[in-house]
Chain A
Amino acid sequence: MTSIRARLTVVLVGVVAGVLAALAAALYVGVRDAAWQQFDAGLEARARALAAITEREGPDYDLVLPRLPGAFAQVWRPDHSVLGRSPGFDGDLPARLGGFALVLPDGRPGRALGIAFSPRDELYRPPTELVLVLAEGIEPVEAAERTVRVRFVALGGVALALVGALTAWSLSRAFRPLGALTAALARIDDKHLAIRLPIAGQPDELAAPVRTLNALLDRLDQAFARERQFTANVSHELRTPLAGLRTLLEVSARAPRPGDAAEALAIVVQLCAMVENLLLLARLDAGQLAAAQDRVALRALVEECWRPHAAAAAARGLCVRNRVREDAVATTDRDKLRVVIGNLLSNAVEYTAPGGWVEIAAGDGALLDVTDSGPPIPPDQLGRLFERLWRGDAARAATGVHCGIGLALARSLAACAGLSLTAATLDDGSVRFRIAPEPDAVPR
């Protein structure tokens, strides 16, 4: 049984039935005992009355038993000979003292009581003991017993039905807020995440889960909003270069000019990089990439990563210093580290103010530090640097080359390789990106 309501109802009805049955049984036994006692007492009183009319006269006894409808009496002399029987009765009753059950001579169930008594004697001779047994039908007691039983069963049944109905009704009332909650929850889907469940008016038992659900909805709402923003950003980042490419090609088709192909190619290259990065990020998210354990000579790797950016750096008048020692080595995923360093260098070359410097160093708790001369990044933007497709608004470059996915990708890749990637603005206004081993990280 899976319904709490049904289960509670059954348990409650069962318990009440048990209690009622025990009570009824106790009452019934008491009532029956009392009835039998009363019956026996009546029997004895009538037997004594019969005994009282027996007299000793002369050598024998004078006994005229009255007609006893439905009852039988028999009296014995001290020598066990039968003194007399109630009129219309010519059988024998057991000559026993005390109360006992028997089948009456006419076949009905009955109860008998035997008493020993001394009849009155006008001559005051020493007393002699006669025995009188009186037997009567027990129908009245049995009928009373039956009535009590029937009433108990009927009353018990009604009581149980009432308990069951009341329990079911009050439980369904108690569960009504749950139904309302379910209905409210059912209205919530990815487009209606702003709905919150009402807390006011909830029973205490539901307030806590409702609060928890609301907190969950908050988190879901935020996650969906981030996802929507990300999707909007991705579509912007992909559609804008596509629009540029299409318009360029259409305009060029009408009136070609030299340089069109090169320009189109540049857009395609940039789109390819963008798509590659998105795919890589998606794979990282899905946990599809494993981390290798390579012995990496850091200085050589930095030099290798710097080469593609050298020309751009020179064009912006940037001075680069590779301060990583020749013998610096690390055990990590070489390919992922290469992409991370490449993205950091590319970021540094793009955002460092012209004429500044970029420095790469190792040690001091870090696997590698990439520091540039700034401009400094405001503290409130440091955390957002690693958000996907976020661009510092002020310094935002036109769509394209840097679409704001590089740093997010770098951080995900670093995490995959068991490394942390953080950014900090130092006191002198320079910006430091730090790749450090994560102490508890388990490389995937």
Chain B
Amino acid sequence: MRLLVVEDYSPLRESLARGLRDAGYAVDATGDGIEGLWYAENHPYDAIIIDLMLPGIGGLEILGKLRAAGNPTHVLILTALDAVADRVAGLDLGADDYLVKPFAFDELLARLRVMVRRRYDRVDRAIRIDDLEIDIQARRVRRAGQVVALSAREYALIEYLGHRTGHIVSRTELWAHAYDELAEPNSNVLDVHISHLRKKIDDGHARKLIHTWRGQGYVLGDRR
């Protein structure tokens, strides 16, 4: 899952990016409103975390522009302003959630999970394909009841594939959702991670779940 963080206070921005990366998200972070808008317009984020008071262009303005352009990405507003009027303005403009600073990082993670789940029309906290279970909340994967130990990046890949079960996910799409700007755009990295995933999830099981569609991408489960 790939996130954008737009927050001008650098200690908060850096801690957020670090914590979110630790939690397995691909994170782009910027402290500038105009740059934030550019990021949001040009990348397929699963969720955007945005501060209201930003230099350059305010958070509400960014939100307004995104919505005006028909961009449906879930947006969580992060702000020090807690007046009801401010919240209402943000929600009216199409924000999906609102957190007042200072906030608990766990709460932010929980709300992000809800937003990602909503994005893929999922009510359940777990994705099940055959005997594979991806627990989004616990970020844990089981195959036939056995916990599969995955790296953060591998988990990000399998979760995204899980959200798109049965659909072909192109390499570009996978890249866009599981890696951030900091990652080297090297297709080998993706191949290596996928092959590790295969080994951990499919090895030793008669029924293979991760399929390659040559020239098109990958599918988790049977193609619909």
Contacts and interface: CB of A to CB of B under 8 A. Distances in A.
Contacts of A399: 8-9, 53
In this complex, the member of B10, B103, B105, B106 whose beta carbon has the largest number of chain A beta carbons within 10 angstroms is B105
A132 interface: no
Given A236-B53, A240-B101, A242-B102, A251 B80 contact: no
**Chain A contact residues, majority secondary structure:** helix
Interface string A224-255: 00000000100111111111111110111011
A43 B90 CA distance: 108
Contacts of A252: 15
Contact of A251 (B9, B10, B78, B105): B105
B181 interface: no
B82 to A, nearest CB: 7
B72 interface: no
A244 B80 contact: no
Interface residues of A, number: 29
A87 B19 CA distance: 140
Given A236-B53, A255-B22, A246 B8 contact: no
A400 interface: yes
A398 B55 contact: yes
B80 A243 contact: yes
A320 interface: no
Nearest to A257: B18
Contact of B80 (A236, A245, A393, A398): A236
Given A241-B11, A251-B15, A254-B22, A246 B80 contact: no
A247 B18 CA distance: 10
Contact of A250 (B11, B101, B104): B104
Nearest to A395: B55
Interface string A143-176: 0000000000000000000000000000000000
Interface in A231-288: 232, 235-248, 250-252, 254-255, 257, 263, 266-267
B102 A263 contact: no
B221 interface: no
A396 interface: yes
Give the interface size bracket for B toward A. Answer: 20 to 34
Contact of A245 (B22, B78, B82, B102): B102
A247 B15 contact: yes
Contacts of A266: 11
Contacts of B81: 232, 235-236
Nearest to B103: A243
B8 A251 contact: no
A398 B22 contact: no
Contacts of B123: none
B34 interface: no
B102 A398 contact: no
B102 A246 contact: yes
A240 B9 contact: yes
A273 to B, nearest CB: 15
Contacts of A267: 11
Contacts of A251: 15-16, 18-19, 22, 105
Nearest to B18: A251
B162 interface: no
Nearest to B51: A240
Interface string A166-192: 000000000000000000000000000
B31 interface: yes
Interface in A381-438: 393, 396, 398-400
Contact of A232 (B55, B83, B103, B105): B83
Nearest to B101: A243
A266 B9 CA distance: 13
B77 to A, nearest CB: 13
A240 B12 contact: yes
A268 B9 CA distance: 14
B104 A400 contact: no
Interface string B1-17: 00000001111100110
B88 to A, nearest CB: 15
B161 to A, nearest CB: 26
A399 B9 CA distance: 5
Nearest to B17: A251
Contact of B101 (A242, A254, A396): A242
A51 B83 CA distance: 113
A398 B15 contact: no
B12 A244 contact: yes
26 contacts: A232-B83, A235-B81, A236-B53, A236-B80, A239-B100, A240-B9, A241-B9, A241-B11, A242-B102, A243-B102, A244-B12, A245-B102, A246-B103, A246-B104, A247-B19, A247-B103, A250-B19, A250-B105, A251-B15, A251-B16, A251-B105, A257-B18, A267-B11, A396-B55, A399-B8, A399-B9
Interface of B: 8-12, 15-16, 18-19, 22, 31, 53, 55, 78, 80-83, 100-106
Given A238-B80, A250-B19, A251-B105, 13 more contacts: A239-B102, A240-B101, A241-B11, A243-B9, A243-B78, A243-B103, A244-B12, A245-B11, A250-B105, A254-B22, A396-B55, A398-B31, A400-B9
